[in-house]
Structure 1
């Protein structure tokens, strides 16, 4: 197992679990982000969580890694598009563990695009040989910690260093 597909699988699995755990808040966020009714937002939330779970599983199965990466790239691209359509609007996009209504900006959009890009790159990379599982897991967890840290930095309301 390589660190990159494992990292992407962890992001997807955490996201799917988060949708299951915080369904009421995220259904509202999904409906607002997608511009649909609350009942349609609930349905979209369940579908998104299912797609994330399937992609995460595929990413950890060597024979299905490319399929999982393609599914993940398409899903994160759809998230980026939805965020781009709502740029500048103040809302809880559901991107974080806590409700943080704020204007949708470049940070949220670029985060989704970066994940989509990493997944897209994974579809063309050859499978690495000989990466010890423990090292791959530790590297993936380190990337996940950095990802969560970057997410927290994006949540700072008006830092002097950020222009969006």
Structure 2
């Protein structure tokens, strides 16, 4: 379970960093996703990014790992629910490193839901032990995670003709 914990921490940390780096694009995207005025998008983005960063750090600290996992599950659960509320709408979900407005489909909704479920599993399970295999497992999880996102995006662009 240690490799899954580190994988989730890496996803949370990269999400938080993405929000800091690309806040000008993601602020309005967050507002549209949440259905609030544009000015509120940046505040929601800052809150989500802060929770993600703190959860990533907490996941790597045995004393507060469960709290980090629960915080990550809450962020991903809220994100999945927000996407479900916009199912079918064409938006930039902010889930890619580049701007990609596309219809919110089942895959976009299920990806954060899957992360939330994994985070809940991490919260319920013992931490596990460290070995060199842990690094390879984390690298494999990350590669698969980003590949699935890219493949899902290609499928949508092929279907819509863009």
If the TM-score is normalised by the length of the shorter chain, which range does it land in?
over 0.9
Q: Quote how far apart the aligned CAs of 1:140 are.
A: 1.0
Counting helix residues as a fraction of each chain, which structure ranks higher?
2
Q: CA deviation at 1:145?
A: 1.0
Q: Distance in 2 between matches of 1:94 and 1:158?
A: 16
Q: C-alpha separation between the residues in 1 aligned to 2:6 and 2:133?
A: 11
Give the drift of 1:137: 2.4
Question: Structure 1 residue 148: deviation in Å?
Answer: 0.5
Runs of 4+ in 1 over 4 A off after TM superposition: none
Q: Is there any run of 5+ residues in structure 2 with no aligned partner, and where?
A: none
What's the C-alpha RMSD, in Å, of the aligned pairs? 1.3
Question: Which residue pairs with 2:86 in the alignment?
Answer: 86
How many residue pairs were aligned? 158
TM-score calculated relative to the size of structure 1:
0.92
Residue 73 of structure 1: aligned partner: 73
Question: What are the equivalent positions in structure 2 for 1:1-164 lying under 5 Å apart?
Answer: 2-129=2-129, 131-132=130-131, 134-156=132-154, 157-159=156-158
Unaligned stretches of 5+ residues in structure 1: none
Using the size of structure 2 for normalisation, the TM-score is 0.93
Shift of 1:70: 0.4
**CA-CA distance at 1:146 after TM superposition:** 0.8
